[in-house]
Structure 1
Amino acid sequence: MLYASTRSGGTASPHSGDRRPARARRLLRASLATLLTTGLLGLAAQASGAAPRSDAAAAGHDPVIMIPGMTGSPATMNAMKSDLQTNGWPADRLFTWTDSSSMTQDLAKAARELSAKVDQVRDRTGADKVVLATWSASTLAARYYIKNLDGADKVSQYIGIAGPQHGTANNGCQWYVSCQQFASPTTPFLRALNSPSEVPSNDRVDYLTIRSTADRNATPTDTAALAGADENYLMSGAAAPNHLMIVSNAAALAKMRSFITAHEND
């Protein structure tokens, strides 16, 4: 018998006496409801494969550093930045940048400046690694950074768009040191960069190149491909973009986005 009170005649009164039994029952029912709700939520999470997200997981994509080519300004990459943000990349993980010479001087020096930028972005975002989205001459500075400096441990993905990876026949710009460095496939800079592998540390870094048959700056077309890359994407046909338009071309940007998301857990 739980806290039942009795009348003088000895029979229990349903309305009088200590109110604690009713309160205890209410507390018990509330506890059971809480346990049931918690259990159901746990089962739902198991069924959906959901798991508590860490701070790192909640942060989402690796930060992306977008780098223009020779004489380009960071604003040149604004279309790419806007496209990524429109498609779910947080604004605070998107960065446009170029070196102090706008990729016109020694690309090894540009790579050293890139190293400092990568460290700055990692410190600012708390990310372990970054994605390098490069165009034209900056494709070479980024590869130099990965191969010869500390980039292999700090870069998750390399995107090389319309890069003179093996020199270019359109090399009438040799008043710039960088242009001298990629004036042909046999320059000392490119021979060293492309040997023994064109995709250094590819066990840690995923590589995508994007090239176009309409490109008249990085020629011939296949100069922009890298042997051993995870994917060398060729754009051809009437809609293929030229060298200037490729970094804002919808199809090229869609390919870049799909590659990044497909390889984020590599």
Structure 2
Amino acid sequence: MQFASTRHSGTASTRTGDRRPAGARRLRSAPLAALLTTGLLCMASQASGAVPRPAAPAAGHDPVIMIPGMTGSTANMNPMKSDLQANGWPANRLFTWTDSSSMTQDLAKAARELSAKVDQVRGQTGADKVVLATWSASTLAARYYIKNLDGADKVSQYIGFAGPQHGTTNNGCQWYVSCQQFASPNTAFLKALNNPSEVPSNDKIDYLTIRSTQDRNATPTDTAMLAGADENYLMSGATAPNHLMIISNGTALAKMRSFISAHEND
């Protein structure tokens, strides 16, 4: 959702969050054949006195797809894109996108369009998975994609800024289908999306939500939390950002960057 409002610079309060147990983290292991091959190559190099070849460098950051909210444009995400690039993300791994209706249509349809975009980015970059950085209404389309379509194996991290995850009391926008879908916690769309888990495939995907007490669009504040997320980050106080500014706020963007980096090898 997007409405004109006065800009506030942001600071962070003590964060709140839920982290799933270590045993629930996804495990990665090399295939047995690859391990045997590596062992044989090392033995051969030692026997011949040759210096072993260095391991291939670790893959870079997963591509990030940044998605605005209802009635938004990709330009809204340019500050986020610039921030990531300024902090070491290659430009060719950063994408801004929205669906054909700017998130005003059925969010299930937006999710289907997101599925095509994810496949396009994966094909273009050669990456197995992407990070979804979402804002407002797009937080719901992205979760629908992960839960109900083919996103579980194609998304490494989900980041939701100011999402109406449990509806909003600021719902006077119901001429849009999407707004009808998050007009209250009890819409059919949200009840289906939030059950049995608010963080689908959380054994494979890391979840971060960022919310602010100064947000007057996604209300009440805690509607933007997800039960079971790795972290639910709260920004509070007079200088916390409003709904429009949260996606360009320096503290919020720093939290996103640190979260991505901390979880890249999970």
Say yes or no: TM over 0.5: yes
1:85 & 1:98 partners in 2: Cα distance? Answer: 20
- Residue 53, structure 1, aligned to residue 52, structure 2: no
Q: Specify the code of the residue in structure 1 equivalent to 2:203.
A: D
1:255 & 1:234 partners in 2: Cα distance? Answer: 11
Q: Specify the code of the residue in structure 1 equivalent to 2:209.
A: T
Shift of 1:179: 0.1
1:154 & 1:52 partners in 2: Cα distance? Answer: 25
1:127 & 1:226 partners in 2: Cα distance? Answer: 27
The structure that is helix-richer by fraction is: 1
SS at match of 1:81: helix
Counterpart residue number, 2:213: 213
SS at match of 1:114: helix
Q: Specify the code of the residue in structure 2 equivalent to 1:118.
A: V
Map 1:23-34 onto structure 2 (within 5 A): none
Counterpart residue number, 1:165: 165
- Residue 103, structure 1, aligned to residue 84, structure 2: no
Shift of 1:255: 0.2
Q: Specify the code of the residue in structure 1 equivalent to 2:211.
A: R
Gaps in structure 2 of 5+ consecutive residues? 1-48
Q: Specify the code of the residue in structure 2 equivalent to 1:124.
A: Q
- Residue 245, structure 1, aligned to residue 245, structure 2: yes
2:246 & 2:180 partners in 1: Cα distance? Answer: 23
Q: Specify the code of the residue in structure 2 equivalent to 1:185.
A: P
2:219 & 2:231 partners in 1: Cα distance? Answer: 19
SS at match of 1:261: helix
Give CA deviations for 1:221-266 in whole Å, capped at 9, x if unaligned: 0000000000000000122000000000000000000000000000
1:193 & 1:220 partners in 2: Cα distance? Answer: 19
Counterpart residue number, 2:258: 258
> CA RMSD, aligned part only?
1.3
Detail structure 1 runs of 4+ shifted over 2 Å in the superposition. 51-54
Give CA deviations for 1:120-170 in whole Å, capped at 9, x if unaligned: 000000000000000000000000000000000000000000000000000
Map 1:181-200 onto structure 2 (within 5 A): 181-200=181-200
For CA contacts below 8 A with separation 6 or more, give which structure has more relative contact order. Answer: 2
1:88 & 1:221 partners in 2: Cα distance? Answer: 32
| TM-score, normalising length: structure 1 | 0.80
> How many residues are matched?
217
1:111 & 1:85 partners in 2: Cα distance? Answer: 26
Give CA deviations for 1:148-200 in whole Å, capped at 9, x if unaligned: 00000000000000000000000000000000000000000000000000000
1:161 & 1:245 partners in 2: Cα distance? Answer: 10
1:148 & 1:205 partners in 2: Cα distance? Answer: 15
SS at match of 1:134: strand
Report % sequence identity: 87
1:142 & 1:242 partners in 2: Cα distance? Answer: 22
Map 1:60-71 onto structure 2 (within 5 A): 60-71=60-71
Q: Compare CA radii of gyration and give the structure with the larger one.
A: 1
1:198 & 1:145 partners in 2: Cα distance? Answer: 13
Shift of 1:52: 2.7
